[in-house]
Structure 1
Amino acid sequence: EKICWALSDAYHEVEGGHVRIYKADELATKLVAAGLTVRGTDHAHALHSPYWWLKCAVGVDNEQNPLTKAYHKMLVWDLMEGPWLTRTAEKLLDPVIGKSVVFYLEKPGASGAPQ
């Protein structure tokens, strides 16, 4: 997200906002304070990071740029078909450039959760 913010004001100035940047440990602290137990973390959506870097570089609202159109087409293909090539690439890239952090949580006292 920091790269997107650096490349484009329009990316983070959406009316009403949609992006909030937390460091993983900061978010984990908030989750624990809310009564949850963090059991693990991962990163996801690595193939989406370069797409948004491109969008921010050429204009977030620029729907006609050939690079972003082609990249978007590849992302849709990946989503719909799940080809080995892109699935493997994303698994390898997730820890490095994953756009999202994933938390595996338990709610103490919930059915099946350790107490």
Structure 2
Amino acid sequence: MLDLGCGGGRHAFEVYRRGADIVAFDQNVEDLASVEAMFAAMKDEGEAPASAAAEAVKGDALDMPFDDASFDRVIAAEIFEHIPHDTAAMKELYRVLRPGGIAAVTVPGFLPERICWALSEEYHTNEGGHIRIYTRAELEAKLKATGFHIGPHHHAHALHAPYWWIKCAVGTGNDDHPLVKAYHELLVWDMFQAPAVTRAAERLLNPVIGKSVVVYVRKPLDAA
């Protein structure tokens, strides 16, 4: 499996923990050093099966250093909204995925993202920030034009949307603001405790204000 634009590596760690061979791919060397250190720690602590392999690789999403059809699965989480040539990156994803392979592609949901842009210019103009807002229809159309078969979709992380609205309202770099700190503590508590009330609330809110939309696509079996 490839974690394309792995960032801090949270998806890659879970994939490794579940026993798949994982490549964490990004252009940020600091993030990759941290991911590589965590892979080593997980191996030492026996948190991943001995049969699984994990590595961190630096590179450009527009020109990945992998052979055609190298991966059975790809995760591309919250990456295409950062890339000016998003369709070129989609073509690279298509190239490295094997025929019949599945990719999970996520981008920020339209409504939560529009609110963030309205609240803060800094949010979408800073270096490495979001340069476009996708509708699901646009994302699926671009993936379909690349050659993918479009599968199911869902929304996720509704409880994260208000956190970003607060950050945009008080300043995206103002992590010490009392409201930001309080809501962040709530999210951490929810992540580790997973109480029934917040899990139920998020399921109800996801279709409306889910911070991410997730689209599953498959490369055709007869792809050249």
- Scaled by the length of structure 2, what TM-score is found? 0.47
User: After TM superposition, where is structure 1 displaced by more than 2 Å over at least 4 residues in a row?
Assistant: 16-20
Does residue 1:57 correspond to 2:188, yes or no?
Answer: no
For the residues of structure 1 that align with 2:135 and 2:128, how far apart are their CA atoms?
22
Does residue 1:72 correspond to 2:181, yes or no?
Answer: no
Greater RCO, CA 8 A, separation 6+: 1
Describe the superposition over 1:55-107 as per-residue Cα deviations: whole angstroms up to 9, x where unpaired. Answer: 11111111221111111001111112212111111100000101111112222
AA matched with 1:83:
P
AA matched with 1:56:
C
| Equivalent residue, structure 1, for 2:199 | 87
Q: SS of the residue aligned with 2:203?
A: helix
Describe the superposition over 1:36-64 as per-residue Cα deviations: whole angstroms up to 9, x where unpaired. Answer: 11111111110011111111111111122
Identity %: 60
Identify the range of structure 1 (75-84 vs 1-10) with the bigger mean alpha-carbon deviation. Answer: 75-84
- Superposition CA RMSD, Å: 1.4
AA matched with 2:135:
K
Q: In 2 relative to 1, CA 55–22 (structure 1 residues): closer, same or farther, beyond 3 Å?
A: same
Alignment of 1:31-50 (within 5 A): 31-50=143-162
Residue ranges of structure 1 left out of the alignment (5+ in a row): 111-115
